[in-house]
Amino acid sequence: MAARSRSPLLETASARPGRAPVNLSARRWRSHARPTPSPVRTVLGDARATRQYAARMQITVLCVPGTMAPPAMFEPLAAALATPVEVAPWLEWPGPHGLDAVAERVATLAERHAPVVLVGHSTGGAIALLAARTPAVVGLVVSNSGANMRGHGDVDAFLERLRDDWGPPVWQALWQRSLHHPIDQCIEDAALAYPATLDPAAVLEVLRSQRDTDLTPLLGQIDVPVLVVHGKWDRARPRDHAEHLVAHLPDAELAVLDAGHSPMVEAPAEFAAAVSGLVARASRPDTRASVRG
């Protein structure tokens, strides 16, 4: 196995395990507590007003991690992009933690930072798909996710194992299934420590909600440009889940990367380039007008 590097940014992070670094000087990488209602919700509720703001303002990339994935998973993306990057650590927020409830709070955060491109990974992809219906969102990246959990392994057995055996062995097994290539050691350390900071009841709640949800009927309502990212070595999500999204979203493209379930850390340069391309596409006034008009 190749030697793993250490991230200089993460080495300056808080000593609390699994917490994302906060680069206060650059203000490009932030992890948010639970959002309060946006004071500009009324203005941003109008699609035309959002397009006018978007034409003048820089797009913010708002990342939505997967279940039990630390905000630090998006540190390489934040380092690579020229646009501000924010992270919504939704499992750290108070409940409820059903998909709809979390998506509503992510949408509130998006309104605060509009215009926004959402980047959702795994369960975060499902949350981002639901949150993308706010006019504050002008583009969407869905990585290693799907409209439902059919074909996503034995979900009920996995939920039982989480409930009965919550602890490092289960966390380690889940993490190992998420990787095909070696990654930055500091990020891996954060990922393995992060679940200990979470409420297992919240983890079970969101996964049960995701198990019982099929977003297929809603996909046609998402009228922003979407990039669906799939890792060709993903052992958690088959490629047909990504192709299903592309087939049902009105304006979607598929990017298959040399990675497992976590391309943002397994193939960080390629993932950042893909996200950057979607941001550039969402930044064009003609694109915004066509998808929000």
SS3 287: helix
Structure tokens at 93: 């927020």
Say how many C-beta atoms besides its own lie within 10 A of residue 3's C-beta: 6
Q: Tell me which residue of 125, 206, 124 sits closest to 162, measured CA to CA.
A: 206
42: pLDDT strictly greater than 70: no
pLDDT-derived band at 157, boundaries 50, 70, 90: confident
User: For the chain, which domains are there?
Assistant: 22-292 (3.40.50.1820)
Structure tokens at 222: 């998402």
Rounded Cα gap, residues 99 and 60, in angstroms: 23
pLDDT digits (tens, 9 = 90+) for 67-113: 999 999 999 999 999 999 999 999 999 999 999 999 999 999 999 99
Q: In this structure, are residues 44 and 38 in contact, taking their beta carbons and an 8 Å threshold? A: yes
Indicate the pTM of the whole model: 0.81
pLDDT-derived band at 195, boundaries 50, 70, 90: very high
Residue 57: its pLDDT value, please?
Answer: 72
Give start and end residues of each alpha helix (H) in the chain. Answer: 41-44, 47-56, 75-80, 99-112, 123-131, 155-165, 168-177, 185-193, 200-211, 216-219, 239-248, 263-266, 268-283, 285-292
